[in-house]
Amino acid sequence: MGMTLTEKILAAHCGLGKVSPGDLVLAKCDLMLGHDVTAPPAIKEFRKIGIKKVKDPERLALVNDHFVPNKDIESAEQAKMMREFAIEQGVKKYFEVGRAGVCHALLPEEGLVSPGDLVIGADSHTCTYGALGAFSTGVGSTDLAAAWATGEIWLKIPETVAIKYSGKLGKWVGGKDLILETIRRIGVDGARYKAMEFMGDAVKKLTIFDRFTMANMAIEAGGKNGIFEADEAVIEYLRGKTDRAGVVHKSDPDCGYSEAVNIDINGMGPVVACPSLPENVKPVGEVRGAKIDQVVVGSCTNGWLPDIKLAAEVIRGKKVHPSIRMIVIPATQRIYLEALKLGLIETFVEAGAVVSTPTCGPCLGGYMGILAEGEVALSTTNRNFIGRMGHVRSQVYLSNPAVAAASAVIGEIAHPDEVM
């Protein structure tokens, strides 16, 4: 029996010709990520190991993105600890405020991930880089510290679920809708500790940014990683960003998938994940009119330039409803600058929205948009668990950027066709 795409990458990184689901392996990491929330506890654990230097500072990436610019003394101390560690260890891939952005958008943008890489990060959405044909997964801060010391991570080879999409994308439908529909079908634990391999004719037509969104939210189905076979869209995206071609792996025809999920997207419209699970997904029409207080466009899921463009397209020439606050957060400084050059920032400001410096912000209940008791948000972020964006008695709906922008104009959850 052959190997899946995920199995091939892991086999290559642990020096074995063949691996199978359930095998425990020690694999070399190409890149190890920490940010201002997860790096400080990793640094503390690293100190306990008793060695002075990390195995290879060239393979570390440290990004200020969650609570920056620092919102309080505690977050300032966190950022300071990571900054000093980066200087001490000679970490060149350290990204400071003003030169950074949300880590999962920043690393691909900087050309730090290539097809066939093995990337770990002390953040669950590290699975984003599977869009580039890499194996990437989230780990705990203790595991990150050990990987800094050794350059390796122990893993159990996951089973792989084949998720095949057929049909044609409908109007206002993108990667966010496809992954939400997938989670609706299999549930938030439907791919627990499994690789989610996205495939099919419909996938080949997706933009790289749609793929980033889908790989990012594999974790919302419990996935160990989400992954796409690298194709010309990936090569084109990386052109000019990196000199590393990487290794393009493909699943063998006789590989062993644990199961197959077939999704026909013909006739599918935009969807919304209702409180308080990403699997509680319904067509926009079924939740039309739901009360909201805040709209957020941004995050590592939908803060890419095409997402910002789409939201601006919908809201251009209109006004945010008087009862709504709208917050727009470009995922990186480069995206922010491009949006500025294209006049998108002006579009949002004229509409009555606020535009933030790149930050994770309200996505994790950090800042820049925390919800009060009883308030409801519609957000392009990736999670809507109880208390995710603020008070435990607040609620979050998830949608694509077009639905979010249209809802900001109408004043309640609405379909983009209503304002266009």
Residue at which a domain ends, from 243, 262, 281: 262
Examine residue 267 and state whether it is found in any structural domain, yes or no: no
Instruction: Let me know whether 234 and 304 are in one domain.
Output: no
Instruction: Let me know whether 216 and 297 are in one domain.
Output: no
Average pLDDT over residues 361-372: 95
Instruction: Let me know whether 214 and 87 are in one domain.
Output: yes
> What pLDDT does residue 260 have?
97
Examine residue 358 and state whether it is found in any structural domain, yes or no: yes
This model's pTM is above 0.85: yes
Q: How many structural domains are present in the chain?
A: 2
Instruction: Let me know whether 149 and 30 are in one domain.
Output: yes
> What pLDDT does residue 387 have?
95
The single-letter DSSP state of residue 392 is T
CATH number at residue 237: 3.30.499.10
Instruction: Let me know whether 206 and 91 are in one domain.
Output: yes
Residue at which a domain ends, from 232, 262, 292: 262
Instruction: Let me know whether 373 and 243 are in one domain.
Output: no
Instruction: Let me know whether 67 and 136 are in one domain.
Output: yes
> Following DSSP, what letter does each residue of 294-351 receive, concatenated?
EEEEEHHHH-SHHHHHHHHHHHTT----TT-EEEEE-SBHHHHHHHHHTTHHHHHHHH
Average pLDDT over residues 392-403: 98
> What pLDDT does residue 75 have?
96
> What pLDDT does residue 104 have?
98
Domain range holding 304?
A: 272-418
Examine residue 107 and state whether it is found in any structural domain, yes or no: yes
Q: Which residue in 401, 371, 375, 219 sits closest to 305, CA to CA?
A: 401
Q: Is 384 helix (H, G, I), strand (E, B) or coil?
A: coil
Instruction: Let me know whether 311 and 412 are in one domain.
Output: yes
Return left, alpha or beta for 259; rule: phi > 0 is left, psi -120 to 50 is alpha, else beta.
beta
Examine residue 237 and state whether it is found in any structural domain, yes or no: yes
Q: Which residue in 364, 369, 379 sits closest to 292, CA to CA?
A: 379
Percent of the chain with pLDDT over 70: 100
Examine residue 186 and state whether it is found in any structural domain, yes or no: yes
pLDDT tens column, 50-69: 999 999 999 999 999 999 99
Examine residue 169 and state whether it is found in any structural domain, yes or no: yes
Pairing state between β 194-199 and 225-228: parallel
Residue at which a domain ends, from 228, 262, 296: 262
Residues 6+ apart with CB under 8 A from 261: 161, 162, 163, 164, 182, 185, 186
Instruction: Let me know whether 192 and 292 are in one domain.
Output: no
Residue 239: exposure state from Cβ atoms within 10 A (0-12, 13-18, ≥19): exposed
* CA–CA gap between residue 130 and residue 359 (Å, rounded): 22
Examine residue 97 and state whether it is found in any structural domain, yes or no: yes
The whole-chain average pLDDT of the chain stands at: 97
Instruction: Let me know whether 20 and 113 are in one domain.
Output: yes
Instruction: Let me know whether 295 and 170 are in one domain.
Output: no
pLDDT tens column, 149-184: 999 999 999 999 999 999 999 999 999 999 999 999
Instruction: Let me know whether 402 and 291 are in one domain.
Output: yes
Examine residue 373 and state whether it is found in any structural domain, yes or no: yes
* CA–CA gap between residue 173 and residue 283 (Å, rounded): 11
pLDDT tens column, 85-116: 999 999 999 999 999 999 999 999 999 999 99
